[in-house]
Structure 1
Amino acid sequence: MSTPINILVTLDAGYLPPLKVMLWSLAANNRNQDFHIWLVHEKLTATQIEEVRDLTDALGWKLTALTTKIDLTDQPALIKRYPPAMYFRLLCGQVLPADVHRMIYLDPDIIVINDITPLWELDLQGNMLAAAAHRGVTKLVDNVNQLRLGTTTSYFNSGVLVIDVDQAREKIHLSDITAAIETYHDYLILPDQDVLNFLYGETILEIDEEVWNYDTRKYLVYQTRTLSKHDIHWVMRHTRILHYCGTPKPWDATSDSKFTSLFLNYQQQVQRLLADLKPTEA
């Protein structure tokens, strides 16, 4: 087995079921790779963590659960209204052990459909982060967000990140994040993602969204942009990560998109696996 790839997840209890689907899809499509899952949370119970550990143990992976709290006691009300977990991915350098140097962060509303080793081995070229930008057919989204946030870089999605943890320890601080929110709160739409772009956009290496952070809502957009070359067959061969951005989520009864059934299939598989792990009653 190869050296483990570090995977960071930060979530509350509501996202535990899709997290298990994401982890199972990661295992199913990276069978010769070992992973170390780092679960950073504020108030998951021991029982909830053990549910995740049942799966990672079955996959032969290590799980490290780290409880952390963001102290917002002295912050104004507008800061406190955002959930503390929002900060965890950006502040991972303050939470992770000193011997952890690189991390892939993945949102739980993701499935992995091909090998992600190239993302782990990506040359960051001196940057602190790598991320994809969801642009649509043109760069209009970038232009709108540059005007809104006063930035000059692409507008990056925070759902998939490669993080140079050593640089993050040095450069990312809670005080900078809260100051940015307090100053620009009237302009923030997705606070954690907006802060990522406003404060750290200049330190982000752009990666291909259709490979590493495919927005499942935008199949027709990608088709249009590539003159129908990137059809579903292309996606299944070349895309590594599908991201179920927005709503409804694929586990919701109202979801019926091109990629819903793929998620539901992985969901069924992991549910069967976990059911088989339960001890049978005498």
Structure 2
Amino acid sequence: MKTIDKKIHVAMASDDNYAHHLAAAICSILKNLGDDRILCVYLLHEKLSNKTKEKIELLKKLRHFELEYINISCEKYEPFKIIVGLYISRLTYARFQLPSLLKNFDKCIYLDCDIIVRQDLSELWDIQLPEYAILGAVEEPGARHRNRVLDIPDSFSYFNAGVILLDLVKLRKSNFEEKAYEYLKKNGSLLYADQDVMNALFCNSWYALPIKWNVHTNVYILKSVNKYYKYQAHEVENVFANAAIVHFSHERKPDSLISQCAYRNEYWQYLKYTAWRHILPKDINLMNLTIRIYWLIKSLVKKSPILFVCMRMVKRAITGYYLSKETTRYKFF
């Protein structure tokens, strides 16, 4: 009988700008992890400040966990520009180095920082990948158009690399890091960077994890819940209510005043347990405050036809004001 590994090895990558997301993510893991498990976090970084490290260390007051800082260099990936998402840096390529960085381990979970974990992560850790699979991931809804660009057969689905269960032994045997870099050199900058590379290399050797382990807020915002191909209807049903990991994959993260992310409030609840508990939304300005107030009032009066008409008139007046000031009109407004 196979013994259960009490330690759960989780790799993440962050810089100072994303550290508050990282802290909220780790906090959410600790708050929901089974009492008999030990979280081990391997934090990949290039130039993480001592001040940020001190703040992250304070999370150990919530619950003990092991934390190792791994200073790496992603300089060789600098020529491959990030095409989509101003919030993404070259550190996104750090996951390519995991097989060699974690050479003493057989597997690990890689998590993006812009997530919260709502259930016991040990359930994901305990999943046994089938023999053919190098990694486990969740399909990226509505992304099969990438198949044509990456020369992936239409019969395969495209996965999101923000939450992945990695078989490090198989990755080392496949010379993953070298092949990933060679693929980039051959194909140049790709729209979804490291995610495109991993899909191209492992299109037929990834296992579809239960959808609850990577529920994208893009699905909520873009209404793309019907664009999953690898999952049956009953698996997609109630996807938000059953989310084990919420992935804030939209460019407006939950720390934005005008974020429309599902579970935004839960993110702020976890953040309150961290050293970043006192931060304010990063984009507070008159325009965004106006939008937020409008949304609030609209939610209160949407059931009243008369008040709704009044709100439409107010909307036109405010929009006209900002257009007269030559400001950008928000698509939400």
Q: TM-score, normalised by structure 2?
A: 0.70
Match of residue 176 from structure 1: 179
Q: Is 1:206 aligned to 2:208, yes or no? A: yes
**Cross-structure match for 1:145:** 146
Distance 1:170 1:45, change over 3 A: farther
Residue 197 of structure 1 deviates from its aligned partner by 0.6
| Residue aligned with 2:204, SS | helix
d(CA) in 1 for partners of 2:240, 2:93: 32
User: In 1, distance between residues paired with 2:29 and 2:90?
Assistant: 27
1:87 is aligned, of 72, 80, 93, to 93
In structure 2, the gaps of 5 or more residues are 83-88, 279-333
C-alpha distance 208-61 of structure 1, shift in aligned 2 (>3 A): same
**Does residue 70 of structure 2 align to residue 66 of structure 1?**
yes
Letter of the structure 2 residue corresponding to residue 260 of structure 1? R
Could you tell me the TM-score, scaled by structure 1's length?
Answer: 0.81
Q: Output the amino acid matched with 2:168.
A: V
Match of residue 251 from structure 2: 247
Q: Give the structure 2 partner of residue 7 of structure 1.
A: 10
Corresponding residue number in structure 1 for 2:107: 102
Counterpart for residue 266 of structure 2: 262
Equivalent position to 2:136, from 126, 130, 134: 130
Q: Are 1:92 and 1:168, in contact at CA under 8 Å, matched by a contact in 2?
A: no
Q: Give the whole-Å Cα distance in 1 for the aligned partners of 2:92 and 2:262.
A: 29
The gaps in structure 1 that reach 5 residues or longer are 275-282
Q: CA 1:177–1:257 in structure 2 vs 1: closer, same or farther (change >3 Å)?
A: closer
**Is residue 191 of structure 1 aligned with residue 197 of structure 2?**
no
Q: Which has the larger radius of gyration?
A: 2
AA aligned opposite 2:150: L
> Which deviations, in whole Å up to 9, do the C-alpha atoms of 1:205-263 show, x marking residues without a partner?
11133x11001231344389859x834xx634x32100010221001122134322221
Match of 1:217 in 2: 218
Q: CA separation in 1, counterparts of 2:49 and 2:172?
A: 27
Partners of 1:208 and 1:3 lie apart in 2 by 22
Alpha-carbon deviation of 1:183? 2.2
The sequence identity of aligned pairs, in percent, is 22
Alignment: residue pair count = 260
Of the two structures, which has the highest relative contact order with CA contacts closer than 8 Å and spacing of 6 or more? Answer: 1
2:169 maps to a residue whose letter is D
* DSSP-derived class of the 2:172 partner: helix
